[in-house]
Amino acid sequence: MARIVTKRRLNPTVTLLEIESPMIAHKAKPGQFVILRVDELGERIPLTIADFDSIRGTVTIMYQSVGLTTKKLDLLESGDTILDLVGPLGNPTEVDHVKRAVVIGGGVGCAIAFPQAKFLYRAGVHVDVIIGFRNKDLVFLEGSFRKNCTNLYITTDDGSYGEKGFVTTKLKELLDAGEQYDLAIAIGPVPMMRFVAETTKPYGLHTLVSLNPVMVDGTGMCGGCRVKVDGTVKFACVDGPDFDGHLVDYDELMTRNAVYRDQETAAAEVHRCRLQALSDAAMMGGARNG
């Protein structure tokens, strides 16, 4: 059981939870993730450790509500508990010998990019950050990033905030202007990571992407998280989740990630009633407490 100590909405679909787990907080490194199960009937889902505080003994996750499990998480408030929390899993991001880095985050991927930027910046690395969103309403973590990078660039698809365009537009602009980096880290939707990798390739810029395949155990036991990298099969939970962005088979990743889409929509429908009941109960609980 792990207790939620803070809950904060970052934008209409992204929520931050700070969860008590001294063991994980003590061990976590940027790039690693946890797997959680909200309750006995729930699914196990992987979420990146977006921040950790070994003194408070907490880890922070930021998730986008996309399906049943993340919607169930949304029903929890600070003080509530999560049944199972396992971590830290995966390999920490390799950032040794890096002097100048560009960190690129797309949408909820910004949450995952944040610890990397922060870690690099605090280690004295020059860190340029490019974060992109569909529109102004979805922008989050701006202040946190500002405190943890050298330059921050924000793009929106519709130009309602920051610069109009995609993160790749800005990235290409910087590279063409002669900015030199020895590492690019790209985290976001699969198509975005692919475009970033395509953008950096002609410049020979080493690019890490953080992959998000379907996972069950997170310990190398189910093979559900297998991805093809440079023609060989890798298990993202133990060999990753970071891989060389120029070598990943993105098409395979996208079809495999869509495998439960239809069913998940159906499942969400079936479980809608239960969620409704849960949320009613939560509201009543809230009313009592308040």
Interface region with another protein, contact rule CB under 8 A, candidates 82-90, 164-172, 177-185, 190-198: 82-90
Q: Can you tell me which of 129, 215, 227, 229 binds ligand FAD, judged by CB under 6 A?
A: 215
Closest CB 192 distance from ligand FES, rounded Å: 23
Return the axis-axis angle of helices 190-200 and 250-257, rounded to nearest 10°: 170
Question: Does residue 245 touch ligand FES according to CB under 6 A?
Answer: no
Question: Does residue 252 touch ligand FAD according to CB under 6 A?
Answer: no
Closest CB 153 distance from another protein, rounded Å: 34
Closest CB 112 distance from ligand FAD, rounded Å: 5
Distance CA(153)–CA(130), nearest Å, equals 5
138 interacts with, out of another protein, ligand FAD, ligand FES, none, CB within 5 to 8 A per kind: none
Bridge partners of residue 133, in order along the sequence: 156
Per-residue DSSP letters for 240-252? -SEEETTTB-HHH
Q: Which residues contact 45 (CB under 8 A, 6 or more apart)?
A: 35, 36, 37, 69, 70, 215
Question: Does residue 283 touch another protein according to CB under 8 A?
Answer: no
Q: Which is nearer to ligand FAD, 111 or 205 (CB)?
A: 111
Q: Which is nearer to ligand FAD, 108 or 186 (CB)?
A: 108
111 interacts with, out of ligand FAD, ligand FES, another protein, none, CB within 5 to 8 A per kind: ligand FAD
Question: Does residue 223 touch ligand FES according to CB under 6 A?
Answer: yes
Question: Does residue 212 touch ligand FAD according to CB under 6 A?
Answer: yes
Q: Give, in order, the Cα–Cα distances in Å from 88 to each of 18, 59, 100, 153, 196.
A: 15, 10, 27, 30, 27
CB 109 within 8 A of CB 209: no
DSSP assignment letter at 202: G
Interface region with another protein, contact rule CB under 8 A, candidates 54-62, 179-187, 195-203, 220-228: 220-228
Phi, psi values for residue 182, rounded to 5°:
-105, 0
Q: Which residues contact 106 (CB under 8 A, 6 or more apart)?
A: 131, 132, 167, 186, 187, 188, 189, 192, 193
**Residue numbers at the binding site for ligand FAD (CB under 6 A):** 33, 43, 45-48, 62-64, 66-70, 108, 111-112, 212-215, 219, 241, 257-258, 260-261, 264
**Residue numbers at the binding site for ligand FES (CB under 6 A):** 215-218, 220-225, 235, 237
